[in-house]
Amino acid sequence: MGKIAFVFSGQGDQYPGMGKELAANYPTAEAVFNMCDEIRPGTSSQCFEGTEEELKETRNTQPCLFAMELAAAEVLFEKGIRPDAVAGFSLGEVVAATAAGVFDKKTGFRLVIKRGELMQREAEKFDTSMAAVVKLTPEQVQELCANYSEVYPVNFNCPGQITVSGLSAQMPDFFADVKAAGGRALPLKVKGAFHSPFMKEAAEAFAVELAKAEIQGSHMTLYSNKTAEPYGSNVVELMSKQICSPVQWEKIIRDMIARGIDTFIEIGPGRTLTNMIKKIDSEVKACAYTEYLAEVEAC
Quote the pTM value.
Answer: 0.95
What does the longest C-alpha to C-alpha distance in the chain come to? 55
Domains defined for the chain, CATH in brackets: 3-124+196-298 (3.40.366.10), 128-187 (3.30.70.250)
**What is the C-alpha to C-alpha distance for residues 151 and 248, in angstroms, rounded to an integer?**
18
Amino acid identity, position 88: G
CB 190 within 8 A of CB 177: no
Exposure on the CB side of residue 129, measured as CA atoms within 13 A: 14
pLDDT at residue 30, as a whole number: 98
Cα gap 271→131, rounded to integer Å: 18
pLDDT value of position 189: 74
Distance CA 86, CA 263 (A): 12
pLDDT for the residue numbered 211? 96
CA dist 289 and 292 (Å) reads 5
Q: Consecutive 10-residue runs of the chain (299 residues): their mean pLDDT?
A: 91 93 97 98 97 93 98 96 96 98 97 97 94 96 96 96 96 97 90 93 97 93 97 93 97 97 97 96 96 85
* Confidence at residue 188, expressed as pLDDT on a 0 to 100 scale: 86
Give the number of other CB atoms < 10 A from CB of residue 297.
Answer: 8
Neighbours of 29 (CB within 10 A): 23
C-alpha atoms less than 13 angstroms from C-alpha of 137 in its C-beta half-sphere: 3
Q: What does the pLDDT read at residue 1?
A: 57
- Give the pLDDT of residue 69: 98
Catalytic residues: 90, 195
Question: Are 82 and 258 in contact, with CB atoms under 8 Å apart?
Answer: no
Amino acid code (one letter) for 264: F
Q: Is 57 helix (H, G, I), strand (E, B) or coil?
A: coil
Neighbours of 244 (CB within 10 A): 25
Measured distance CA(36)–CA(220) in Å, rounded: 24
Residue ranges in the chain assigned as alpha helix (H): 20-25, 27-39, 43-49, 52-56, 58-78, 92-99, 105-123, 138-145, 171-180, 200-212, 235-241, 249-258, 272-280, 289-298
What pLDDT score does 156 carry? Answer: 97
